[in-house]
Amino acid sequence: MSSARAERLVNLVLCLLSTRQFLTAERIRATVPGYADATSDEAFFRMFERDKTELRELGVPLETGRTSAFDTVEGYRIARGDYELGEIDLDAEEAAAVALAGSLWDSPELSGAAHGALRKLRAAGVEVDESRGSVQPRVRAAEPVFGALLAAVQAGQVVTFDHRRGGPTGEIARRTVEPWGVVSWRGRWYLVGHDRDRADVRSFRLSRILEPIKTVGDPGEVTVPPDTNLMESIRRTVDTGPVVGVARVWVAEGHAHGLRRLGTVLGPRELGGRAGDELEIELRSERTVARWLAGAGPDVVVLDPPGLAAHVRRLWEGALAAHAGERVR
């Protein structure tokens, strides 16, 4: 952005913040320095439209309206209460987490919003360190329907689409859904919402939803029920295997947050001088749960059942042998 345009945008924001009335485009042209350089009416309106778009993309709440019923032309203003950012106090770890979250998304639909949030924090005087070191996480959203479904969730608008059950040759059925959220579960993206045709809460894998996504009704018609847990909804509808047992594990305080979401915290417990919590996790597949637990290393201890603890130890032994260039028999 050129320095002249940046200065003009700052002047425009200051002008619209300093008034309670809606200012017409012509009034803005005569008041805000920089617009006098427009050589014609057409050039001014093109310049003004670009500036409005730029402000909205930066998150500036630009309002449109009329001051009184006698006004024949709409004007513009910025409500100070909507524009001003409340006090933000982040410690070093919280600021680092924000920076990591901002670098997480690898899709156009979310990367722009994340970077915009970082700009607003810096404008509020919050130091956000974007140095990521050797860890560069990415959450990919390559499904073509991702953007349309996310937009419907944000707008609170019902959608209808064709959904393929099972594999590539599965049956295709039309679904009408009140979308509550788009979330990632075990490397796959799902839409969670109320299926109107089946009168029940359902989850749909995005890779099985076919284009186009059509909206139904007006925005704002969808209301997410209070206390809705999207992850639990996916877990209940996707993990259809039978429960074969229950595992009790100890998790160190501040670690293994993924396991905490999968299980139920029974209460705090100290183990080996370390603070932590005791969790209960449903066993649908001992092999799968063992991989989850082994990945947490010394921050997790299997309390019960003994077979699961032995499975985790074998995985650790295999990893140790692989790094040592040996082979476990």
Query: 10 Å Cβ neighbour count for 244?
Result: 10
Give 90's pLDDT tier (boundaries 50, 70, 90). Answer: low
Give 195's pLDDT tier (boundaries 50, 70, 90). Answer: very high
Q: Are 16 and 31 in contact (CB under 8 A)?
A: no
**Is residue 101 over pLDDT 80?**
no
In the sheet with 300-304, reading across from the earlier edge strand, the strands are 264-268, 276-283, 245-252, 300-304
**Is residue 199 over pLDDT 60?**
yes
Q: Which two tokens stand for residue 194?
A: 């109320």
Query: 10 Å Cβ neighbour count for 131?
Result: 7
pLDDT value at position 177? 95
d(CA 52, CA 238): 44
pLDDT value at position 122? 61
Give 134's pLDDT tier (boundaries 50, 70, 90). Answer: very low
Q: Which range has the worst mean pLDDT, 130-134, 142-146, 171-175, 255-259?
A: 130-134
Give 276's pLDDT tier (boundaries 50, 70, 90). Answer: very high
Q: What is the mean pLDDT of residues 136-156?
A: 76
Across the strands, what pairs with 177?
A: 159, 195
What global pTM score does this model have?
0.42
**How far from the centroid of its chain's Cα atoms is residue 133's Cα?**
23
Residue intervals of the chain classified under CATH 2.30.30 are 146-238
Residue intervals of the chain classified under CATH 1.10.10.10 are 3-83
Among residues 226, 229, 238, 172, the alpha carbon closest in space to that of 202 is found at: 238
Q: At what angle do helices 3-17 and 41-57 cross, to 10 degrees?
A: 80
Among residues 110, 132, 128, 107, the alpha carbon closest in space to that of 119 is found at: 128
Arithmetic mean of pLDDT over the chain: 79
**Is residue 107 over pLDDT 80?**
no
**Is residue 73 over pLDDT 50?**
yes
Percent of the chain with pLDDT over 90: 19
Question: Can you list the pairs that 109-118 forms with residues at least 24 positions away whose Cβ atoms lie under 8 Å?
Answer: 109/141, 109/146, 109/147, 109/150, 110/139, 110/141, 110/150, 112/57, 116/57, 116/58, 116/59
Residue type, 83: Y
Please provide the distance, in angstroms rounded to a whole number, between the alpha carbons at the two ends of the chain. 64
pLDDT value at position 103? 57
In degrees and rounded to multiples of 5, residue 284 shows phi and psi of -105, -30
Q: For 14-41, what is each residue's pLDDT tens digit? A: 888 887 788 888 888 888 888 887 888 8
d(CA 274, CA 296): 15
Report in angstroms the alpha-carbon separations of 178 from 110, 222, 226, 268. 21, 6, 15, 38
Q: Which range has the worst mean pLDDT, 11-15, 38-42, 82-86, 130-134?
A: 130-134
**Is residue 181 over pLDDT 80?**
yes
Q: Coil, helix or strand for 145?
A: coil
d(CA 24, CA 22): 7
d(CA 282, CA 262): 8
In degrees and rounded to multiples of 5, residue 220 shows phi and psi of 90, 0
Give 135's pLDDT tier (boundaries 50, 70, 90). Answer: very low
Residue type, 42: E
Residues in the chain: 329
> CATH number of 146-238: 3.40.50, 2.40.50, 2.30.30, 2.60.200?
2.30.30
Q: What is the mean pLDDT of residues 246-271?
A: 86
pLDDT value at position 83? 66
> CATH number of 3-83: 1.10.10.10, 2.70.70.10, 2.40.37.10, 2.30.30.90?
1.10.10.10
d(CA 281, CA 263): 4
